[in-house]
Amino acid sequence: MRRQRPSVRRAAALRRALPAVLASVVLVVTGCSADPADDSAAEQAGSPSPAAKKVPAPSGRTPGGTVLVADFGADTVTFVDPARGAFDSVRVGTAPYGLAVGDDGRAWVATAEGVAVVDTAERKRITRIPYETEGIGRPAHGEYRGGGMGIALAPDGRHAYVGVNRPGGNGTVEAIDTHTLKVTGVTEVGRRPFDVDIARDGQAVYATDHDSFDVTVVTPGSLHTRRIEVAPYGTEGGLGSWLKPHYTAVRPSDGKLLLPFEGERLAVVDPETGRSRIEKMTANTHQHGVTITGDGTLFAVGTGPIDPSRDDGPSLTVRTPQGREKVIPLDGAHEAVEVSADGRTAYVTGGFTRDGYWNGISVVDLESGTVRRLAAGERPLGIAVL
């Protein structure tokens, strides 16, 4: 997903806002792990109605600062004014999951049917590129459906890389030429590639393989692969385990991979050597989506408790490069996060890959820590700020 390319302007603004965000710092890890809320909990939290009325669409081209979300519960992407709400949507294909937006304003959306290409300025679909991976099944909705999951764009914008889930087996990464709009190569990776990220120099693609406890490093061009196990809790439980990798952030300073686990452990992986070290985290909740800003500030989404008797609820962790954390409580399960260009606001999708999702985003003021819920899309997962 589009996570690791913030501007210098965003990083500078975030550095100005962070002292207030981190006024209350949590320094000690408590408890165990955590995970999903259920549908009734989402209802009690006051989920925005999926039938919430759209605000009037802006005249002309889509304004900067608009939030774009992938509607996993529908076949659309939704355009959201972060102050007023959703104002338009575009049909892209069955169960869109991840999305990435290039400097040219085109969005690349991983659906169950193929990668949809959307002109975000004009708010229209340009095309949809079918997958070449065999065995993904007919297009469907649901957590384990086949087709695209994580997606990322190369730094030069020449290629998109999408992780494709093959139900019951290993997934693939497909490389797409963004000029010809054709798949140029397919390579096997691990099971259920939740996330795809790219090294800052474009020389490596990283697929985060949820169900095989690893990250696959893919070399662009040759599509040679090597696997790195990332399992700070071990692999006991196999497919039934909760303690798996979900999303990855590439640290700007040194290119290392950051993967949060359970609000307790941050795996810091050297993709060259495959070695990992573990740092403490403080949220004590099951964690999914991440993003990282240019100054190295990490944002990690906590989806809620695995064991409500021991674990904490949903949250957003804001972690400085020095490892200090502010944990901001959220209301209901969430999945992915992005940060505004001025570094003052985080947007967190309420879609969630499991039950307990809600149809909206949380808008988090990073200076005050206040949270505002906004109706947006239908089970929104992937997110980008235009």
Find the domain containing 127 and state its range.
Answer: 8-52+68-385
* Residue 174 maps to a domain: yes
* Residue 338 maps to a domain: yes
Q: For position 52, what pLDDT does the model report?
A: 54
* Residue 1 maps to a domain: no
149 compared with 27, residue with greater pLDDT: 149
* Residue 101 maps to a domain: yes
How many structural domains compose the chain?
1
DSSP for 349-386?
Answer: E---SSTT--SEEEEEETTT--EEEEE-SSSEEEEEE-
Q: For position 18, what pLDDT does the model report?
A: 46
**Alpha carbons 175 and 182: distance in angstroms, whole number:** 9
* Torsion-angle region of 264 (φ positive above 0: left; ψ -120 to 50: alpha; else: beta): alpha
Q: To which residue do tokens 């949820």 refer? A: 210
Q: For position 354, what pLDDT does the model report?
A: 85
* Residue 282 maps to a domain: yes
Residue type for position 299: F
Rounded to two decimals, what is the model's pTM? 0.88
* Residue 61 maps to a domain: no
Q: For position 372, what pLDDT does the model report?
A: 97
Cα–Cα distance list, 42 to 95, 98, 256, 288, 325 (Å): 21, 22, 35, 17, 26
* Residue 62 maps to a domain: no
* Residue 125, domain CATH: 2.130.10.10
Give per-residue pLDDT as tens, 74-126.
999 999 999 999 999 999 999 999 999 999 999 999 999 999 999 999 999 99
Sign of CA dihedral 181, 184, 189, 191: positive
* Residue 3 maps to a domain: no
Q: What angle do CA 75, 81, 85 make, to 5 degrees?
A: 70
Q: For position 53, what pLDDT does the model report?
A: 66
Q: What is the mean pLDDT of the chain?
A: 89
The answer to whether residues 362 and 351 touch, using CB atoms and an 8 Å cutoff, is: no
Q: For position 21, what pLDDT does the model report?
A: 44
